[in-house]
Amino acid sequence: MRKYLLPSLLILACFAGAAIGQNITKSVQLSQDPTGLVGYDTNNGVNFPGHINSTTRGSLPPALSTCGTSPSFTGSDNALRLTTGSAATTCTVTFGTAFTTAPACVITPQGAAVQPTYTVSATAISMTVDVASTVYNIVCMSPG
């Protein structure tokens, strides 16, 4: 019995190490019922018949810095409506939860404002704005 103890512990340690190395923490089980809330086709394409809501459930909201006087926002790391404060020339949005790699982000100003220049990292968006107190719509998605 003792001669099997060490090999058994080594095998168990290997499987435990492989399990710890996984990044996936949750998944969605697909059903054969095609009338569900989310549809999947034969090419693994996803169909959302309603809106895709982006919330901060389970994570911290983004934080604003150097965005002028009294900036505000609604939304989350993935979809954000930002209003820069008065006297703003730059703005940094620090994600509530860092992405694994820098996300692909699109920033669009509302109204006649000039498109801002910006850089994106895994932890934040830094943008230069031309007009203070402007509303910007920001969408970020992880590329992988």
- What is the mean pLDDT of the segment spanning 38-65? 73
Angle at 26 between CA 22 and CA 27, to 5 degrees: 110
Instruction: Quote the pLDDT of residue 19.
Output: 45
Domain ranges of the chain: 63-141
| Window from 36-40, 83-87, 110-114 with minimum mean pLDDT | 36-40
Does the pTM surpass 0.85? The reply is: no
Instruction: Quote the pLDDT of residue 31.
Output: 62
Q: Of 13, 134, 21, 29, nearest to 83 (Cα)?
A: 134
Instruction: Quote the pLDDT of residue 55.
Output: 62
CA–chain centroid gap for 43, Å, is 24
If one compares 54 and 95, the residue with the highest pLDDT of the two is 95
Could you report the per-residue pLDDT of 87-138, keeping only the tens digit for each? 999 999 999 999 999 999 999 999 888 899 999 999 999 999 988 899 999 9
| Cross-strand bridge partners of residue 107 | 138
Could you report the per-residue pLDDT of 60-83, keeping only the tens digit for each? 899 999 999 999 999 989 999 999
- Token pair listed for 87: 């006297």
